[in-house]
Structure 1
Amino acid sequence: MAVTLGQVARHAGVSLATASRALNGSARTVGDGLAARVRASAEELGYLPNAPAQALARASTATIGVLLHDIADPYFGALAKGATDTAADAGLLTMVLNTGGDPEVELRCIRMLHAQRVRAIVLAGSGYTDPAATAAIDAALSLYRAEGGAVTAVTDHGDGYDTVLPDNRGGAAALTRALLGQGYRRLAVIAGPARFRVSAERLAGVTDALAEFGLTLGQILLEQAEFSRTGGREAVGRLLAATGPGRERPEAVLALSDVCAVGVLAELRERGIDVPGEIAVAGFDDIPLAADLAPALTTVRMPLLEMGAEAVGLALSRQAAARSEPVRVLRLPVEPTLRASTGTP
């Protein structure tokens, strides 16, 4: 059985990273004494270094990695297009990885991209609210950055990362304010999964706007669902099932994701409920098909292509900049776009 680098590291009494740098020609130097000890252990154990691994250790590849929660979701598809187009203009290839919104999968993807020596990693999905998951991901990204990799995030992934930050909270507040301003009072909100930071940001925006009208979350109908078409259908089904004596149907449903809102529209259409005549519907993101739905969907416009493009731009400029340069946050405005699904043609 071939001797592994881990066995060499243990024999020499050094970390795996130190053994790798000593034997694989990394640009990061190792002290003469440690390097000699590692080489002596490798020779004694008969370790044969892997030539491709040595080459990858000397320099990063002309590749970047983009992590998405769901590549089938048009929101993430638009982010990916912005990112890949910008990378291509810089002469780089892009590896797009689908995590399913699972932090353990995301952690494995980060480690794989690190092993592949990609030039930069773009975190294009929402950060997680679980402190343990966040800490594990941060630790893996710290190792990657220590070896020269650049990391940028789209939306909030915590402190320490260059970030493209659309105003999720402000956008949700503005749209809620617009619906209340149209006279809708029996409002139902379909929020996203609690494990994502963006869900909390958008729901906080709804809370802000309600307070301006003397209302609280406890005075409206609230459901949580996955940001998916199925999630939207199931959530509005629960809302309708809960209505009856003493609890009227909502006048308007605000789904805090366009894909979720598409599911709401489909379920209401199947039940023969007119939109917006009986129930108005609004979403969030302004995915490419939002304006083409029947009725066209009221939503919050997010500059999705620009967000993906700016994230790659930040990553590439970070590589060219001094590592000590402060973290940069690019704040992008968003705006509600009123369409026929809420009675505005």
Structure 2
Amino acid sequence: MSTSRRKIEHLEHCAQRPVESKDVTSGFDDVMLVHRALPQINMDEIDLSTEIFGKELKAPFLIASITGGHPDTKPVNAALAEAAEEMGIGIGVGSQRAAIEDPEQEDSFSVVRDVAPNAFVYGNIGAAQLREYDMEAIERLVEMLDADAMAVHLNFLQEAIQPEGDRDATGVLEAIEEVCSLKVPIIAKETGAGISKEDAQMLKEAGVSAIDVGGVGGTSWSGVEVYRARESGDKVFEDLGNLYWDFGIPTVSSVLECRNYLPVISTGGVRTGLDIAKSLSLGAYAASAALPFVAPALVGKDAVVESLSAMLNELRVAMFLCGCGSVNELRTESKAVVTGWTKEYITQRGFDINEI
């Protein structure tokens, strides 16, 4: 099956079927922000602005990589990008591999920069594919978007579940190190299974500029592959996908694993502005989400803006109740309490609960 056809199948399954984690949550329910009964700030004057790699954002949020690589995905990326431009936030595209294989698919990605000339935009290529293409090809992906950064996604769980997946992970770290010589920052991005402190350390040493933890709790790409396998009548891969549906490190735990190594983007089950606030209080630099915007993007830009506006208003309320007038104050001065399964996990992993 072509990469282009697989991309539209992924989008359709995400839009039409339950694809989120089933029995393992992102961990946000285990996090409580310490309420300030005397916030002593004006909620209407709270400043959500921040910057990433020197580029100003009106809020610490990105629309995570969703799609591209098929003609039917172009209007979806256009709607998402128009909303990102209007809201002053960042946006990523889905894997640009399809555009390397078929240049006719380029405009399904380049439309993002066309309609969002001022937004922070990042490109995307799989770590497993880095060994297939030379640096010139990767540079073309950057130029395709006039990208401000490039994400290298680590999706080996999905590759293992996918019939056509690439299961050879040898040499990947060296390939990432090579791509870090690009003129733009490199974001190492998991896609639903999280990143550990051991891998964070190796990614830092390889020259990566930031980590998008992509933890368990949001979209399960193993789950998406279950539906593809079921449609093709492949019982072996359907069963494999079901077994590993919730495999990996939940988002909150992964943020805590990685925060001392590189700037962290909290992705995976971020569904509200309160989740964003909790992420930043725990040490994330920004947060992102994809699935909540798939259905709105199929409607159009205004529906995406409506969803984003609600989420950022929720963030503003959380900051007000924590007495934080700026994003930097939320990162450095707010207090959070971690309980339940997440506390047990991070304790067993050797983290000091009193340092959170």
TM over 0.5: no
Q: Which has the larger radius of gyration?
A: 1
TM-score by length of 1: 0.28
Higher relative contact order (CA 8 A, sep 6+): 2
TM-score by length of 2: 0.27
